[in-house]
């Protein structure tokens, strides 16, 4: 289902979380559970991954992750503000040590001049550290955008774990 390279990336991330005793969680919108699916390709993942949240609609983002309704109305679900709230909500609700959240427009429709098809917002946070967020526009069809999002989310998680390893939060 996932490429060997993607599963290897997930495996390295899981091993890192196991070594650091840092449980992880995910909050997904446009990927619809693919990040969790990729992580669970790794044997032994249950030692650090108990749950993920698939919050495709705004109501789910609010009810399951606590994303404020005014953020969703004012900024939209595909925004830094929304994914930051998603990551923070997942971290708290899963009682995890690190969380990543994604929300985007996988296409083929739904894009606009301000938010084109392929736009994905990412946020990741490690307990006790600031949230990191960024956005990226991926090319390709719906499947390509979703798989590229999985890879970028795993890389962001790895970077957040690396930063936390480098020292205490400022």
Pairing mode, strands 119-126 and 132-137:
antiparallel
What is the residue range of 67's domain? 4-164
- Look at the chain and report how many structural domains it folds into: 1
Find the helix or strand (DSSP H, E) in which 121 lies.
strand 119-126
Residue 103 has which token pair?
A: 């929300």
Contacts 24+ apart (CB under 8 A), 131-135: 131/84, 131/87, 131/88, 132/156, 132/159, 132/160, 132/163, 133/80, 133/83, 133/84, 133/87, 135/80
Percent of the chain residues past pLDDT 90, beyond the cut = 92
Does some domain include residue 169? no
> Does residue 33 have a pLDDT over 70?
yes
The Cα 125–Cα 137 span in angstroms is 21
Residue 136 has which token pair?
A: 């990226």
Does some domain include residue 170? no
Please report, for the domain that includes residue 49, its CATH number: 3.90.950.20
Per-residue pLDDT tens for 70-125? 999 999 999 999 999 999 999 999 999 999 999 999 999 998 988 999 999 999 99
Record the pTM. Answer: 0.95
Does some domain include residue 150? yes
């Amino acid at each position: 289902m996932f490429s060997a390279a993607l599963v290897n990336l997930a495996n390295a991330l899981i091993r890192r979380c196991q070594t650091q005793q840092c449980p992880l969680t995910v909050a997904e919108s446009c990927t619809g559970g693919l990040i969790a699916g990729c992580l669970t390709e790794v044997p032994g993942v249950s030692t650090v991954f108990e749950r993920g949240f698939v919050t495709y609609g705004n109501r789910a983002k609010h009810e399951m992750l606590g994303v404020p309704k005014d953020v969703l109305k004012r900024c939209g679900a595909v925004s830094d503000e929304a994914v930051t709230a998603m990551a923070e909500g997942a971290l708290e609700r899963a009682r995890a040590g690190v969380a990543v959240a994604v929300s985007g427009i996988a296409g083929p429709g739904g894009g606009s001049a301000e938010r084109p098809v392929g736009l994905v917002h990412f946020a990741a946070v490690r307990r006790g550290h600031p949230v990191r967020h960024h956005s990226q526009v991926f090319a390709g069809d719906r499947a390509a955008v979703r798989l590229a999002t999985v890879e970028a989310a795993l890389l962001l998680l790895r970077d957040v774990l690396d930063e936390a390893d480098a020292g205490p939060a400022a």
